[in-house]
């Protein structure tokens, strides 16, 4: 297949390198120096300095060059820039191309998932819009460590065809028809990871981490079901799997933000020191607003929002969560 990957961050570059091993793949980057390094030296020193990329991978800053013959378009840009990039490339996206979003976030202004933004901007068949989501830390996948993910698509045949194209010896791809559930799991787990990092920064141990992951999963499931997702999706790779990795790994950008907040650093200083985007910082207010609109109780998410906007200190947020009336464990789970 001819594949275009939009976004030369760590995950976009990793996927492009994997896809280039069996497909004619072009990576679109905003930065000309990054594009040249990838094409000429098979490296992305800004995001993956220790990973050697597939020699056949090409990079360009020209959307037309990347997209003109694409059978598959992978969108790997941060959620805050997602709509603007889709609008930028709209004239170049072939109408018959399959579109795969790998971005995990919710748009603040609209509450849209990334696949909804695609359909809002492009005149595209919804059956051609897919989502890739799971416990996929780019450096580990790029290094060839055993990993797995989920490709969600309404069209089962298309999902299976793309699954085969993306699967490698070390990267196993499963299919799912629940696009909503996979996107909600991927977006909300970043918020819970910030909470888990706050616990780490405050010096709490594994009991706290396990409680946050488990109750965080309940929040993810509640919101997802309210949006039309299947409950069982959240027990899988795009739910529990992604949540566990993001809340636990030192590589997790969202967990790192939370940890630094727990240590008392201001949010602005933390994000200024980070080269890559922590999606949870952008998505938390959007997810909290969406939960409010749907009448979904999400106490962990609301406390993370309060810490991010400076309304509560990390220790105050923990105290208020511990004062939350617990009740029966599964009363609020469908």
Separation of alpha carbons 116 and 102, rounded Å? 13
Q: Please indicate whether residue 189 is annotated as part of the active site.
A: yes
Neighbouring residues of 80: CB distance < 8 A, sequence distance ≥ 6? 105, 108, 277, 282
Listed residue (240, 246, 252) closest to 214, CA to CA: 240
Separation of alpha carbons 316 and 118, rounded Å? 39
β-pairing, 171-176 vs 2-6, is unpaired
> Which stretches of the chain are assigned E, i.e. beta strand?
2-6, 24-28, 58-60, 72-75, 98-101, 129-133, 147-152, 171-176
SS3 (DSSP) at 48: strand
Separation of alpha carbons 305 and 232, rounded Å? 27
Out of 104, 139, 189, 263, the active site residue is 189
Separation of alpha carbons 232 and 21, rounded Å? 33
User: Backbone phi, then psi, for 104, in 5-degree steps?
Assistant: -110, 95
Listed residue (50, 102, 332) closest to 215, CA to CA: 332
Q: Helix 299-308 vs helix 314-322: angle between axes, to the nearest 10 degrees?
A: 160
Catalytic positions are 189
């Amino acid at each position: 297949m001819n594949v275009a990957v939009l976004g030369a961050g760590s995950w976009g570059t990793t996927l492009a390198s994997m896809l280039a091993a069996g497909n004619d793949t072009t990576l679109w980057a905003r930065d000309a120096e990054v594009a040249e390094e990838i094409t000429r030296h098979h490296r992305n020193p800004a995001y993956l300095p220790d990973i050697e990329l597939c020699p056949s991978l090409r990079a360009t800053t020209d959307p037309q060059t990347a997209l003109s013959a694409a059978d598959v378009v992978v969108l790997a840009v941060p959620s805050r820039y997602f709509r603007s990039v889709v609008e930028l490339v709209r004239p170049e996206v072939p109408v018959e191309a399959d579109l795969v979003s790998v971005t995990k976030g919710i748009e603040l202004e609209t509450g849209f998932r990334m696949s909804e933004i695609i359909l809002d901007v492009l005149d595209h068949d919804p059956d051609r819009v897919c989502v890739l989501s799971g416990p996929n830390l780019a450096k580990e996948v790029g290094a060839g460590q055993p990993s797995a993910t989920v490709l969600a698509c309404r069209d089962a045949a298309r999902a299976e065809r793309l699954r085969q194209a993306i699967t490698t010896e070390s990267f196993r791809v499963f299919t799912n028809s629940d696009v909503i559930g996979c996107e909600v799991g991927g977006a909300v787990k970043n918020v819970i990871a910030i909470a888990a990092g706050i616990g780490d920064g405050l010096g709490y141990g594994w009991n706290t981490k396990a409680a946050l992951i488990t109750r965080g999963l309940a929040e993810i499931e509640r919101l997802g079901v309210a949006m039309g997702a299947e409950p069982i999706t959240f027990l899988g790779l795009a739910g529990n799997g992604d949540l566990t990795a993001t809340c636990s790994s030192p590589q997790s950008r969202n967990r790192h933000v939370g940890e630094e907040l727990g240590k008392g650093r201001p949010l602005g200083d933390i994000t200024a020191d980070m080269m890559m985007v922590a999606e949870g910082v952008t998505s938390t207010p959007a997810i909290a607003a969406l939960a409010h609109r749907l009448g979904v109780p999400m106490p962990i998410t609301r406390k993370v929002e309060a810490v991010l906007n400076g309304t509560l200190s990390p220790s105050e947020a923990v105290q208020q969560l511990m004062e939350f009336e617990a009740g029966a464990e599964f009363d609020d789970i469908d």
